[in-house]
């Protein structure tokens, strides 16, 4: 065996050991790769084609855990609504077509989406908004951002708290599930002009805000994400 062969063998062993240290060894106990297609949107709620999704993340709905004892119809939406209400009937219709839908998980995700969208709008973050809003809602948000930019204004928004996020509507329109959520929050928001003077809102006052947003998702789609399709305010 000549010196070059020895060098190449040593180099091969060195490379093997480096790869092993970086990639690790298989032990037979590794978790299977995460399948995003199999996961559902966490928001669990939808609106027309204008899902309530402000600047921020998309919500994936976690599948319902199998249960040996099916929940009695009268207790199915306990804590969310009473049996026989329009909301209960809407949730029933959605679950009948999508057994993985969990409205409680959806509400949890909706809270995060709400904060992200509000802040993205205030910051003029079009990239974040585009993925979370329906085309119609995005156009209205974009128009408002353009108006601020035209007037050389900037908005500063800070959440103090999100006190409540509750489902107030649910329905299935053909293949589209729609969920309407009422958000009750406290935030501080002020819009300043080029010189830094406040032209709207307050930099010190905490305002009580009630927003009513609708999220939507095509339940036959492999895309698990909900989008914001409608916004309203009770203030």
pLDDT in tens, 196-211: 999 999 999 999 999 9
**Rounded distance between C-alpha atoms, residue 223 and residue 166, angstroms:** 24
Continuous segment of H or E residues that includes residue 119: helix 103-123
The predicted-structure confidence for 86-144, as pLDDT tens digits, reads as follows 999 999 999 999 999 999 999 999 999 999 999 999 999 999 999 899 999 999 999 99
Crossing angle of the two packed helices 103-123 and 135-150, in degrees rounded to 10: 30
**Rounded distance between C-alpha atoms, residue 155 and residue 231, angstroms:** 19
Average pLDDT taken over every residue of the chain: 78
Backbone angles phi, psi at 78, to 5 degrees: -60, 130
**Is a pLDDT exceeding 60 seen at residue 38?**
no
Query: What pLDDT shows up at residue 54?
Result: 37
**Is a pLDDT exceeding 60 seen at residue 159?**
yes
**pLDDT, mean of residues 151-168:** 96
**Each residue of 81-108: b (16+ CB within 10 Å) or e?**
beeeeebbbbbeebbeebebbbbebbbb
Q: Chain-centre distance of CA 132, in angstroms?
A: 7
**Is a pLDDT exceeding 50 seen at residue 42?**
no
CATH of 83-234, one of 3.10.450.240, 3.10.580.10, 3.40.640.10, 3.20.190.10: 3.10.450.240
Give the model's confidence band at 73: pLDDT under 50 very low, under 70 low, under 90 confident, else very high: low
Query: What pLDDT shows up at residue 89?
Result: 95
**Rounded distance between C-alpha atoms, residue 64 and residue 77, angstroms:** 14
Query: What pLDDT shows up at residue 208?
Result: 96
**Is a pLDDT exceeding 80 seen at residue 29?**
no
Cβ-based neighbours of 78, under 8 Å, separated by 6 or more:
none
Contact between 213 and 47 under an 8 Å Cβ cutoff? The reply is: yes
């Amino acid at each position: 065996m000549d010196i070059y062969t020895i060098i190449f063998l040593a180099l091969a062993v060195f490379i093997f050991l480096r790869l092993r240290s970086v990639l690790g060894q298989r032990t037979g106990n590794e978790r299977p790769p995460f399948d995003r297609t199999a996961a559902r949107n966490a928001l669990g709620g939808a609106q027309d084609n204008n899902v309530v999704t402000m600047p921020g993340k998309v919500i994936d709905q976690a599948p319902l855990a199998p249960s040996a004892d099916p929940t009695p119809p009268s207790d199915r939406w306990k804590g969310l609504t009473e049996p026989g209400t329009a909301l209960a009937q809407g949730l029933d219709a959605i679950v009948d077509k999508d057994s993985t839908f969990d409205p409680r998980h959806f509400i949890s995700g909706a809270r995060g989406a709400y904060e992200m969208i509000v802040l993205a709008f205030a910051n003029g973050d079009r990239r974040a908004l585009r993925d979370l809003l329906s085309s119609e809602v995005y156009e209205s948000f974009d128009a408002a951002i353009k108006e601020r930019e035209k007037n050389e204004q900037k908005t500063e928004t800070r959440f103090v708290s999100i006190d409540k996020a509750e489902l107030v509507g649910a329905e299935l329109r053909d293949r589209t599930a729609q969920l309407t959520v009422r958000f009750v929050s406290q935030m501080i928001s002020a819009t300043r002009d080029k010189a830094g003077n406040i032209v709207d809102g307050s930099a010190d006052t905490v305002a009580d805000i009630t927003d009513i947003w609708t999220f939507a998702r095509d339940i036959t789609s492999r895309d698990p994400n909900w989008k914001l399709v409608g916004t309203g305010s009770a203030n």
